[in-house]
Amino acid sequence: MTVRLRRADPGDLDFLVELLTHEEVEPFLAAIRPRDREGLAAEIARSQAEPQDFGRFVIEVDDGGESRRAGVMGFEVANRRSRIANLGGLAVHPDFRGRHLADDAARLLQRHLIFDLGYHRLQLEIYGFNERAQQHAARAGFVREGIRRKAYRRHGEWVDGVMFGLVREDLERDSEVAHEGRGGA
Ligand SMILES: CC(C)(COP(=O)(O)OP(=O)(O)OC[C@H]1O[C@@H](n2cnc3c(N)ncnc32)[C@H](O)[C@@H]1OP(=O)(O)O)[C@@H](O)C(=O)NCCC(=O)NCCS
C-alpha cells in the first residue's frame, strides 16, 4: 500500500477533529495538544505560513485506486541553532491500523525534515503506558534515549515519558548500508 504525506489544509479540518477526539486516539496524545476546531485550524494555518518551523501532515493511502486520509503527524522547531525538531501528534485512524502505516509515514517525515528542511536531530516523547507507539517508534528507526520518570499527570496518575531520537547520521548510515547491499548483490 502506497503511503504519502502532504501538508494539512483547511479542507482536512473535519477529518482531524474526528481523528484526534476518537476514543482510541485521544487518551494517547499529550494532554496539552489541541483537539478542538479552533485550535486545529490555527495549527493548519501555522503549518502553511511557517513550513520550516512547524508542520501538520496528513497521512494518505491508496485504497482501491482512491486516495484516503488515514492519519496525521507533525513537528515543531525546538532549537533553531542546533537544528532540532520535536515530533508529535501522531495518530492513525483505527480503520487503518494494523498495517504499520505509521512506520512508512515516519520514515517519509524523517527524510523530509532532515534532507529537505535541514534538521539535524528529531526527537519525540511517548507516554510510558503507550507500548504500541513505542514499538512503532523503534521500528521506524528512532533510538530510545531515556525516560523522564513520572513526568506527566495523565488519566489520574503520574506517568513516565519515554524519549526517542534520530540524528542525520543515523539516516546517512542506513543509506550507505542499503547502497553497499545493492553494490554487493
Ligand atoms: C501508534 C500508532 C500511530 C501506530 O499505528 P500503526 O502503524 O497502524 O500500527 P498499529 O497500531 O497497527 O500497531 C502495530 C503493531 O502493534 C500491535 N498492537 C496492537 N495493539 C497493541 C497494544 N495495545 N499494545 C501493544 N501493541 C499493540 C499490533 O498487533 C501490531 O503488531 P505487529 O507488529 O505484530 O503486527 C497507532 O496505534 C495510533 O494512532 N495510536 C493512538 C495514538 C498514539 O498512540 N499516538 C502516538 C502518540 S506518541
- What confidence tens digit (pLDDT) does each residue in 61-91 have? 998 889 999 999 999 999 999 999 999 999 9
- 112-135 pLDDT, tens digit each: 999 999 999 999 999 999 999 999
pLDDT in tens, 5-16: 999 999 999 999
Residue 182 buriedness (CB in 10 A; 0-12 / 13-18 / 19+): exposed
Across the chain, mean pLDDT equals 95
- How many domains are contained in the chain? 1
Collapsed DSSP state (helix, strand, coil) of residue 4: strand
Q: Which domain holds residue 84?
A: 3-184
List all residues whose CB is within 6 A of at least one atom of ligand 1.
25, 28-29, 90-92, 97-103, 126, 130-133, 135-136
Residue nearest to atom 22 of ligand 1 (CA): 132
End-to-end CA separation in angstroms for the chain: 26
* Strand arrangement of the beta sheet that strand 54-63 belongs to: 3-7, 54-63, 66-79, 84-92, 121-127, 157-167, 143-154
Residue 96: is its pLDDT beyond 60?
yes
Q: Residue 98 Cα, ligand 1 centroid: separation in angstroms?
A: 7
* Ligand 1 atom with the shortest distance to the CA of 89: 47
Instruction: Give the residue-averaged pLDDT of 139-145.
Output: 98
The β-bridge relationship of strands 143-154 and 121-127 is unpaired
pLDDT for 94 beyond 90: yes
Q: How far is the CA of 49 from the centre of ligand 1 (A)?
A: 32
Residue 148's φ and ψ, nearest 5 degrees, are: -95, 105
**C-beta neighbour count of 31 within 10 angstroms:** 11
pLDDT at residue 168 is higher than 60: yes
CATH for 150: 3.40.630.30
Q: How confident is the model at residue 185 (pLDDT cuts 50, 70, 90)?
A: very low
> Which residue out of 124, 132, 139 has the highest number of ligand 1 atoms within 8 Å of its CB and is therefore the one to mutate?
132
Q: How confident is the model at residue 17 (pLDDT cuts 50, 70, 90)?
A: very high
**33: part of which helix (H) or strand (E)?**
none
Report the predicted TM-score, pTM, of the whole model to 2 decimal places.
0.93
pLDDT score of 114: 98
DSSP per residue, 110-175: HHIIIIIS--SEEEEEEETT-HHHHHHHHHTTPEEEEEEEEEEEETTEEEEEEEEEEEHHHHHHHH
- Residue owning the nearest CA to atom 13 of ligand 1: 98
